[in-house]
Amino acid sequence: MRSDLIKKGHERAPHRSLLKALGVTDSEMNRPFIAVVSAASDYVPGHMHLKQISKAVQDGIRNAGGVPFEFCTIGVCDGIAMNHLGMKYSLCSRELIADSIEVMLTAHPLDGIVFIPNCDKIIPGMIMAAARLNIPAIFVSGGPMNAGRVDGKRIGLSEVFEAVGAVSSGKIPECKLMDYENNACPTCGSCSGMYTANSMNCLTETIGLALPKAGTALAVSSERLRLAKMTGERILELVKQDIKPRDIMTKKAFENALRADMALGCSSNTVLHLTAIAHEAKVDVDLDFIDSISKDTPQICKLNPASEIFIEDLDRAGGIQSVLKELSKTGKIHTDIITVSGTVAERFTNAPEADGTVIHTVENPIRKDGGIAVLRGNLAAEGSVVKQGAVAPEMMVHKGPAKVFNSEEEASEAILGGKISAGDVVVIRYEGPKGGPGMREMLAPTASLAGMGLDKSVALITDGRFSGATRGASIGHVCPEAAAGGLIGLVKDGDMISIDIPNKKLELLVDNAEIEKRKAEFVPLKKELKGYIKRYAQLVTSSAKGAVFED
């Protein structure tokens, strides 16, 4: 066993002495040592209950004859970090999470790992660590929160952000905003729609690193506790069989995950995270591969923020296994590959059939292609990403004048100040991985436009990114970014921009001579940086590569 490095032989007596200081007994020294890596904390709603999940996992580990050792990682709540300096530190926390786990489990070699994430960067950060370490591992997240309710209508966090825009434009009174504030997030767990956290939890189950229902069982359900206990038990079998993350995370598994991604209409951030995870797993997944999957995968679910269907509804309809079962009818799901608990086909055999409402059939999909599209053109030579499943039909093709801003704050001020008109294309730049730095999610401006009723007439493009809670013609990950000399840095107010989502095009309609003149005069905006964010900006690659660090 790997843990023998710290507990076997007479030369390890000092190590055993320290382990006994923890209360480890002589009989436990002969059992598998299992790491329990949790993101538990007291100020992230998705993490506040993870101690309880961890206890159930540890009970399961002991049930199966292992010895659990828990430690915690950092974790940023994107909702709390949104729309201020803190959001610059969200994406870059993903690398810190992966690095810190690598440090802990290399310094203290154990035999298997149970990961307990929830929320946006924690999930991919932990999966990256699992791939890098390649020790038998399994995941069980904290699960999604219940939907909220205002005036008899179910809502999620995105509706609170949109209500801010509605108040600013006079559509609702300020007192009504308090109703949204008090009722949108009624329980612990990851936010209730198909935002980034739930997207990544669902894809963790799809790729085969978590047990069935791990992506959708509610945070407050006893089913979640049973899943945690079963996960703790299951890791001992994975250790016994020596099934490691990279045995599971093959190219075929990534293809399954991407097809589920497209079918579910997941957050556009999944593109950023899956490419980063694939990098760690030594699997070739790029924007061209993702786009090819999107083109021939039907979208069969449309969840909040794109509709009034929530994760809790998907769970009741059969969850991810029912989605995979339906997708398998296209012949494009790899059903014979392994997961942490049998083959893909074995896991979905007894799942409910598609109900036609929450999970559409492949014969009657919501759309014939996937929920995410990759756009290219002179404005995005290396690619850009849009959650096309949440774009209004009238905005799938759009041409309009640019309103250019060099930060999210400038754009938000203009939007709330009534300076954006129907037909405009809002350009937010210097928010990329290097230029931000940190590639902030920008839910506030998109939600404000939606709350003001402009989501069906105004587009946004950015070298930053958008929240999974964003809806509308919001095109992110524009690459190359402005700080790297990308064309987005040369756009001027009034320039016409053409967006053609069906044909995957994003173009600046300025003649080449003028573009070359601007390039000759271009000086990228420089920011004074310090601390970790400065080191991050020096090391991070482009969004097209998943914003991973340079090798």
Query: Do the Cβ atoms of 335 and 343 come closer than 8 Å?
Result: yes
Could you give the 3-state DSSP secondary structure of residue 435? coil
Which helix H or strand E contains 322, and what residues bound it? Answer: helix 319-327
Structure confidence at residue 444 (pLDDT): 84
**pLDDT over threshold 90, residue 398:** yes
Indicate if 17 belongs to the active site. no
Of the given ranges (80-94, 187-201, 241-255, 443-457), which has the lowest mean pLDDT?
443-457
Structure confidence at residue 442 (pLDDT): 86
Query: Do the Cβ atoms of 421 and 445 come closer than 8 Å?
Result: no
Catalytic site residue from 141, 294, 307, 467: 467
C-alpha distances out from residue 124 to 159, 263, 273, 280, 548, Å: 26, 20, 6, 11, 12
The C-alpha atoms of residue 192 and residue 219 are separated, in whole angstroms, by 10
What does the DSSP 8-state code read for residue 367? B
Query: Do the Cβ atoms of 286 and 176 come closer than 8 Å?
Result: no
What does the pLDDT look like over 39-56, one tens digit per residue?
999 989 999 999 999 999
Compute CA 132 distance to the chain's CA centroid, rounded to the nearest angstrom.
19
Q: Is the dihedral of CA 42, 44, 49, 53 positive or negative?
A: negative
Stretch 13-39: mean pLDDT, rounded? 98
**pLDDT over threshold 90, residue 490:** yes
Structure confidence at residue 9 (pLDDT): 96
Structure confidence at residue 165 (pLDDT): 85
Stretch 254-262: mean pLDDT, rounded? 98
Structure confidence at residue 420 (pLDDT): 95
Q: Please, what is the average pLDDT of the chain?
A: 96
What does the pLDDT look like over 277-303, one tens digit per residue?
999 999 999 999 999 999 999 999 999
Q: Is the dihedral of CA 205, 208, 213, 219 positive or negative?
A: negative
Of the given ranges (158-162, 232-236, 536-540), which has the lowest mean pLDDT?
158-162
Return the bridge partners of 506, or none: 499
Task: State the pLDDT confidence band at 166, using cuts at 50, 70 and 90.
Answer: confident
- Show the tokens assigned to 518: 């601007």
- Shortest CA distance to 170 belongs to which of 418, 425, 442, 421? 418
Q: Which pTM value belongs to this model?
A: 0.95
Query: Do the Cβ atoms of 463 and 488 come closer than 8 Å?
Result: yes
Query: Do the Cβ atoms of 488 and 478 come closer than 8 Å?
Result: yes
**pLDDT over threshold 90, residue 168:** no
What does the pLDDT look like over 526-541, one tens digit per residue?
999 999 999 999 999 9
What does the pLDDT look like over 385-395, one tens digit per residue?
999 988 999 99
The C-alpha atoms of residue 103 and residue 108 are separated, in whole angstroms, by 8
Nearest 5 degrees, angle CA 80-CA 84-CA 89? 75
The C-alpha atoms of residue 123 and residue 146 are separated, in whole angstroms, by 20
Structure confidence at residue 334 (pLDDT): 98
Could you give the 3-state DSSP secondary structure of residue 17? helix
The C-alpha atoms of residue 28 and residue 20 are separated, in whole angstroms, by 10
Q: How many CB atoms lie within 10 A of CB 514?
A: 13
Compute CA 158 distance to the chain's CA centroid, rounded to the nearest angstrom.
15
